[in-house]
Structure 1
Amino acid sequence: MSPRAIRWTIIAGVLVLWEVLPRAGLVPVLFLPPLTTTLSVAVTEWRSYGAALAVTLSQVMVALLFAVGGGILVGAIVGGVARMRQVLLPVFSSLYAVPLVVLYPVFTAWFGIGSEAKIAFASVYGFFPTMLSTAAGIQTIDPNLMLTARSMGATPVQRLFRVILPAAIPTVLAGLRLGGALVIIGVVVAEMLISSAGIGYLITSSRTVLNSPHVFAGVLLVLLIAIGFDLAMRLLEKRCAAWSGAGRARPGASDVRPAEA
């Protein structure tokens, strides 16, 4: 069987077990409601779940902009400047190891309990992997490429878009994939802790009254968001594949000589 067929077989098996195990009484319905019951709840109450999904998606999109934009910008600066890399990279690496969820009360104290706190928390949550991957990607650029670009008279902006970013694209996208996933987690976790709207809030409010079908309906929506983000990243990687090859070292690249004026 092909890897794709194996993946679909595993997914189908999980869905079948999700339906059969509770129906057969092998798993308490309180712990795992049947799949059809969960889907029925999501369809019946699509208005409330749709409104919650819109709130969560809007916050995820804004947090992604801050996490990705800030992560790539700071990562490019830290990775491209040797002095800043030596001073700041160990600091950012240490901060990345801190469980940021324990700092969420600080965000609520600074920004209140509205959307601002959730967006700020999720942005910081996804900032570190994007920044660290960008800095690591820039450090792996072949120095001969930069030397050749300078000798040909390339401006800093041209070197950024023609050499640095294309060469760092693979690692930047890897950090973006992880950072985006953490942004989604950050928003949902923040909604579960202190919020009055969003998918995380629906999951928490349903959990407090032991309404398992509603809880798992919310979990399915979170999974759909994660799957949608992963598919978008796969498409972006395919689009950037040709561009990233422009900045990679080629055999004999060090022998390239600048064109004569």
Structure 2
Amino acid sequence: MRRPAPATVRWLILVVLLLAWEFVPGTGLVPELFLPALSKTLTVLWQGRVEYGQNLLVTLYEVGFAMLIACGVGIFVGALVGGIAVLRNLLLPVFSSLYAVPIVILYPIFTAWFGIGSESKIAFAGIYGFFPVMLSTAAGIRTIDPQLLLAARSMGATIWQQITRVIIPASIPTVLAGLRLGGALTIIGVVVSEMLTSAAGIGYLVSRYRTILDSPRVFAAVLLILVLSVLFDLLARFVERRTLVWQTAGRQGRTMSVAARRPTAATPAVA
């Protein structure tokens, strides 16, 4: 008997969860205050589509700029820290220690510096997603075989050619893993900061309707957050597929470098 494909299993799990969301509240096992039916949640979402749409645009605006900080600055700083030994020995332990600190406890500082508008949400979420991207980039660059760079330089490769044809292909799997984690944390950071202090955004709607115990509207906002996270994950998977050639090139380059250093049977022994 053949096992079902992983994609089929994932779809079956999703269907079971949606059916449970729809029918379990009607059985009385879970009060509707804690879990409204899926159909009721979707109805509320459609009826308030204008309000949810406007607040979703605010959240997307904040997530977009926070992603630029987390991913753009994270990759740049990670490349510097991972590629320069002095910076690596000096800053990598500091960044690793800061990553262990719950960044959410520092959110009041961001509100004191930037106010309660979008600026504090963007800065907080950008820093929240910065650390995994930066650390993953630094780790990816540190795993590059020095023989690859030496071979590229010996063949006259310029700095740009070394970056695009050696460094990026060799480190991109680790960098993409950091981008997925950092992007997810960025979305979480924006939503959490909106729930704490905000007058707009999906997180604000969650906090607003939670205080008046309007569960269907709370779950409608939560559903939008889930959709946003799933769309980001699909985008990250698409980028991974598009860069599959680079990843394969990096692996082949490392394999060739190892093979070149191995002595063969035909190589005469050195006296």
The normalised TM-score by structure 2 is 0.92
1:63 aligns to 2:66 (yes or no): yes
The normalised TM-score by structure 1 is 0.96
- Correspondences of 1:185-196 after superposition (within 5 Å): 185-196=188-199
Q: Residue 249 of structure 2 is aligned with which of 246, 251, 260?
A: 246
- Correspondences of 1:82-121 after superposition (within 5 Å): 82-121=85-124
- 1:172: which partner in 2? 175
Q: Distance in 2 between matches of 1:18 and 1:159?
A: 52
Q: Secondary structure at the match of 2:255?
A: coil
Q: Distance in 2 between matches of 1:240 and 1:2?
A: 25
Shift of 1:35: 0.5
- One-letter code aligned to 2:54: A
Shift of 1:87: 1.2
CA RMSD, 1 decimal: 1.1
Q: Secondary structure at the match of 2:133?
A: helix
- Correspondences of 1:126-137 after superposition (within 5 Å): 126-137=129-140
Shift of 1:244: 2.3
Q: Distance in 2 between matches of 1:153 and 1:90?
A: 35
Shift of 1:8: 1.0
Report the identity percentage. 61
Q: Residue 2 of structure 1 is aligned with which of 5, 11, 32?
A: 5
Unaligned runs of 5+ in 1: 257-261
Q: Distance in 2 between matches of 1:252 and 1:166?
A: 14
Q: Looking at CA atoms only, which structure, 1 or 2, has the larger radius of gyration? A: 2
Q: Distance in 1 between matches of 2:24 and 2:143?
A: 50
When structure 1 is superposed on structure 2, of 12-21 and 245-254 the one drifting more is: 245-254
Q: Distance in 1 between matches of 2:182 and 2:106?
A: 18
- 2:225: which partner in 1? 222
Q: Any runs of at least 4 consecutive aligned residues in structure 1 with deviations exceeding 4 A, and if so which?
A: none
Q: Residue 32 of structure 2 is aligned with which of 20, 29, 54?
A: 29
Q: 1:19-75 CA deviation, whole Å, 9 max, x = no partner? A: 111111110010000110000000011000000111101110111011100010000
Shift of 1:252: 3.7
